[in-house]
A = this chain, B = another copy of it.
Amino acid sequence: MNNRIEKLARKSLSFISPYVPGKPVEQLFREKGLSKIIKLASNENPLGASPYAVKAIKNKAQTVNRYPEGDAFALKGKLSHLLGIDGRQIVIGSGSSEIISMTVQAFCEPGDEIVFAWPSFIIYKILAHAFGAKPVEVGLNADFTYNLDSYLEKISKKTKLVILCNPNNPTGSHVKKHELRRFIRNIPENVIALFDEAYFEYAEDPDFGSAFQWLGKGNVIIARTFSKIYGLAGLRIGYGIASKDIIRILEKIRPPFNTTILAQEAAIAALDDRNFVRKSIQHNKKEKKYLSENLKKLGFTVFQSQANFLFCQTEKNAAEICQKLEENGIIVRPMTGFGLKENFIRITVGKSSENRLLIKQLEKIC
């Protein structure tokens, strides 16, 4: 590293290790030259993209010489109608991750603390460093469920933001309605409470607690995405909902054209595709059960998940298992990147055929 340039960079950047995503199919193809590759590493929708969305993309392909409407007027209108809230309570982001990023940028100055669970979505820690704030991690219980009391205990006078991922990535654990009520009521008014609900559509527990009914609290922000249930991860589009006061501040730092024409149009179409959402939920439920049962038979400890992935523990070396799977064209996610020991794996629920192939390969390996 050239010291001269490094010295010019923001001090807090030295703490950042760039995010390592699930290995892309193209990369494994380049590395091993395999022709058939199955990716169960990034919690994508195995049924593809919403067909309505695909049609919208093709219809609008000719129009991309024009800038998008910066504030995604039509998409906000659609969401406002569906959610029954004011359009001024909605901000559109380049994936839900940009909603999280804008929140950190808008509210956290150097010295401020951001409280979040660990393991949880790695981006929280990266963003804290990227904007010079201090990450404060809260451990999960031994069974990887949330301990909301220890969360609340970590809130100090320096805390500016609390982030709760519900259902949690990578563990699949969730917070119930009554737990959420107590949690939100105990967060001080001068602390922003961000709820990352990227996976909420998959939650099966009727007692799952979305922060949606707590929007009236004023300091609550919810980040949601079109990347999962709607199958639009490749288009980078998500949304944030909050009080009008919060949205007004986020709009100040939202990049003027942060989502593409095609993403906006695809998201609008996908919201109408109720059949695709229903099918995706049913598929996930059935196949998650299949995977869970068969992984347990193979000796894995499988934690209860309300999302479209399973968090598994093995007595063996998980890195080796992942390595062997990759050699056979199956990509899953080792959890060392999440700061966990070498015996955890996160597996995305795939197509029926993919899940069966995974179990078959694991039978050989284990």
Does A175 have its Cβ within 8 Å of any Cβ on chain B? no
A108 cross-chain contacts in B, Cβ below 8 A: 10
Contact with B along A278-302 (1 / 0, CB 8 A): 0000000000000000000000000
* A216 lies within 8 A of chain B by Cβ: no
On whether the beta carbons of A106 and B68 are closer than 8 Å, the reply is no
Determine if A171 is an interface residue (Cβ-Cβ < 8 Å): no
Task: Please indicate the chain B residues that have their CB under 8 angstroms from the CB of A18 in the complex.
Answer: 251-252, 254, 256
Q: Are A219 and B5 closer than 8 Å at their CB atoms?
A: yes
Query: Is B98 a contact of A255 with CB atoms below 8 Å?
Result: yes
Q: Could you mark each residue 174-192 of chain A with 1 if its beta carbon is under 8 Å from any beta carbon of chain B, else 0?
A: 0000000000000001101
- A108 vs chain B, min Cβ distance (A): 8
Interface: A321 (CB within 8 A): no
Tell me if A147 counts as interface (CB < 8 A to partner B): no
Complex alpha-carbon distance, A287 and B111, angstroms: 54
Given the complex, which residues of B lie within 8 Å of A248, measured CB to CB? 1
Assess A9 versus B235: contact at CB under 8 Å? Given A53-B64, A260-B263: no
Give the chain B neighbours of A231 by CB distance below 8 A.
Answer: 64-65
Our pick among B68, B235, B252 for the contact of A261 (Cβ within 8 Å) is B235
Closest B residue to A7 by beta carbon equals B190
Q: Mark A228-267, 1 if CB is under 8 A from B, else 0.
A: 0001111110000001011011011111111111110010
Interface hits, A55-107 → B, CB 8 Å: 57-58, 61-70, 73-74, 94-95, 97-98, 101, 105-107
Known A27-B73, A160-B8: A67·B233 in contact at CB below 8 Å: yes
Choose from B25, B74, B107 the contact partner of A66 (Cβ within 8 Å). Answer: B25
Tell me which of A68, A130, A190, A252 has the highest count of chain B C-beta atoms within 10 A of its own C-beta. Answer: A252
- The verdict on A36 contacting chain B, using a C-beta distance below 8 Å, is no
**Does A140 belong to the interface (CB within 8 Å)?**
no
**A9 in contact with B73 (CB, 8 Å):** no
- In the bound assembly, the distance between CA atoms of A178 and B323 in angstroms comes to 55
Residues of A within 8 Å of B, CB-based: how many? 90
Q: How many copies does the complex hold?
A: 2
Residue A39 at the chain B interface, CB threshold 8 Å = yes
Q: Is the CB of B8 within 8 A of A67?
A: no
- Bound-state Cα–Cα, A130 to B291, Å: 46
Question: Which B residues lie within 8 Å of A4 (CB)?
Answer: 189-190, 218, 245
CB proximity to B under 8 Å, residues A37-64:
39, 42, 44-49, 53-54, 57-58, 61-64
A229 vs B294: C-alpha distance in the bound complex, in angstroms? Answer: 54
Residues of A within 8 A of B (CB): 1-2, 4-11, 13, 16, 18-19, 21-22, 24-27, 39, 42, 44-49, 53-54, 57-58, 61-70, 73-74, 94-95, 97-98, 101, 105-110, 123, 130, 132, 160, 189-190, 192, 218-219, 227, 231-236, 243, 245-246, 248-249, 251-263, 266
